[in-house]
Every structure is written in structure tokens, then in C-alpha cells.
């Protein structure tokens, strides 16, 4: 009986610990852009992200005449990031160009300067290339046993194509744990690397000129 009681107490003590270790945070509250700032080269950093981009119909909507990005105000280490996105094909939305090119960046160091594009790893979101790694500003990974070269913008092609038709919602899942990085798209592993040269940083949503919507941006601490 005493053993059973002690076991129950131990079990109750471990449950909150497991819950904290797997805590999930919505980076987009479905109402506004609180928790983010915006940037574009001409006007610089906007603490009020709604001066450049928009929250509407429970979506983040990136569009307009200027390329730029949303940056999370907080940094993260050892996490699983889930993002749902789609190309916005409504011709009434202002666009800078017709090239379907965007990205989800992560592990953007807090000290890296705002620029197009800052240091970090990008989950490429681009027609015909969604799922590629883009390693920016000298970030390196080891992929298939080979360390990538440091450079301003280094591409590592996806293992598989898994993007849905233009206009449909896609789900990207990015897992970073102790230097190992995995990128999944719609349930398919599309890229993987280890020994990342960056281990902690912010989340960034890119706007490169073609309207794109995000309806879920969620992070789970591992």
C-alpha cells in the first residue's frame, strides 16, 4: 500500500512537468498582430506591425507594393513550429509582382540586423520549390553527412514534392531539437539536417511580392 501511494505521488508530480515540456503557444491570436513587428527596407522597423501588414478574417494577410516581413518578438529553442499557409489568388489584392515566392524563417538570432533577408534558416515557400532549405547569412547544416558551405544564401533542395494546388491550404511543420532540423509539408518529410550553426532565434514570415495568407502559427516547446 505504501509503495502504491508513493508511486501515485510520483506520477502526479511528473504530469505537470511533462505538460510544461510540451507547452504550445499560438503566435497568431487570430485577431491582430500582437507579438510581431514588421519590416521593409525603405521605412525600416515598425513596432506596430499593422502599419504594413494585416490581420483579417482570422488570417495574417501579407500583400502590398513593398517586400518585407513579420518578425516574432520572442526567440525559441528546441521547438516544433506548425504553420498553415496558402497563396492568395484574389486579383483585387495589391501585389508587388506575380512570382509566387515567400518563406517561413526560423532560428533568426536576436542580434542579427533587420534586412532582406536576415540570418537564419528558411523553409522555402515557392512555386515548384516549397520545402527547400535556404540557409541565410552563413548559417550551415549537415545534410546527408555533408556540411553545407557558408554563404549569403545557400539552397538545399527538398527530398520530395508535397505542396498542394495553388490556393489550397498547406501545413508546414518545422522541428528543431539540439541542432537537428526537420521540415515537413502536408505530412511528408521534405528536408532534414543536423548540427545547425544556429540553435535559438525568432520566427519570421516573408512577403516577397505575391499575396500569401497564414491562418495558423503555433509553436510547441520540446
Instruction: List the one residue out of 116, 39, 103 whose CA is nearest residue 72.
Output: 39
pLDDT at 17 over 50: no
Mean pLDDT over 184-194 rounds to: 98
Residues of the chain with pLDDT > 70, as a percent, come to: 91
The grid coordinates of residue 208 equal 516577397
CA distances from 40 to 46, 66, 69, 77 (A): 8, 7, 7, 26
Alpha carbon distance 120, 142 (integer Å):
15
Cα distance between residue 202 and residue 76, in whole Å = 6
Higher pLDDT, 16 or 214: 214
Q: 19 pLDDT exceeds 80?
A: no
The b-or-e profile of 50-59 (16+ CB within 10 A means b, else e) is: eebbbbeeeb
pLDDT tens digit string along 21-43? 579 999 999 999 999 999 999 99
Confidence of residue 3 (pLDDT cuts 50, 70, 90): low
Q: What is the pLDDT of residue 188?
A: 98
pLDDT, one tens digit per residue, over 46-94 is: 999 999 999 999 999 999 999 999 999 999 999 999 999 999 999 999 9
pLDDT for the residue numbered 14: 47
Query: Cell numbers at residue 27, please?
Result: 503566435
Cell 483585387 belongs to 92
Could you give the domains of the chain?
Answer: 26-221 (2.60.120.560)
Count of C-beta atoms within a 10 Å radius of residue 18:
8
Integer CA distances (angstroms), 169 to 16, 20, 30, 165, 200, in order: 34, 30, 16, 8, 28
Measured between alpha carbons, how far is 84 from 187 in angstroms, rounded to an integer? 12
Is a pLDDT exceeding 80 seen at residue 15?
A: no
pLDDT in tens, 159-176: 999 999 999 999 999 999
Give the pLDDT confidence score for residue 133 in this predicted structure: 98
pLDDT more than 90, % of the chain:
90
Amino acid at each position: 500500500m505504501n509503495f502504491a501511494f508513493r508511486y501515485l505521488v510520483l506520477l502526479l508530480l511528473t504530469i505537470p512537468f511533462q505538460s510544461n515540456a510540451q507547452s504550445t503557444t499560438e503566435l497568431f491570436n487570430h485577431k491582430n498582430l500582437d507579438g510581431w513587428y514588421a519590416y521593409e527596407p525603405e521605412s525600416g522597423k515598425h513596432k506596430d506591425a499593422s502599419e504594413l501588414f494585416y490581420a483579417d478574417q482570422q488570417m495574417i494577410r501579407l500583400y502590398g507594393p513593398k517586400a518585407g516581413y513579420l518578425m516574432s518578438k520572442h526567440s525559441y529553442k528546441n521547438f516544433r513550429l506548425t504553420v498553415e499557409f496558402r497563396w492568395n489568388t484574389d486579383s483585387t489584392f495589391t501585389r508587388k509582382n506575380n512570382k509566387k515566392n515567400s518563406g517561413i524563417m526560423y532560428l533568426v538570432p536576436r542580434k542579427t540586423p533587420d534586412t532582406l533577408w536576415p540570418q537564419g534558416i528558411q523553409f522555402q515557400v515557392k512555386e515548384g520549390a516549397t520545402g527547400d532549405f535556404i540557409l541565410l547569412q552563413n548559417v550551415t547544416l549537415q545534410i546527408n553527412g555533408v556540411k553545407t558551405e557558408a554563404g549569403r544564401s545557400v539552397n538545399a533542395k527538398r527530398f520530395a514534392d508535397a505542396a498542394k494546388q495553388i490556393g489550397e491550404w498547406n501545413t508546414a511543420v518545422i522541428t528543431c531539437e539540439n541542432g537537428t532540423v526537420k521540415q515537413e509539408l502536408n505530412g511528408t518529410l521534405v528536408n532534414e539536417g543536423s548540427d545547425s550553426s544556429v540553435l535559438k532565434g525568432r520566427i519570421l514570415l516573408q512577403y516577397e511580392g505575391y499575396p500569401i495568407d497564414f491562418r495558423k502559427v503555433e509553436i510547441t516547446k520540446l
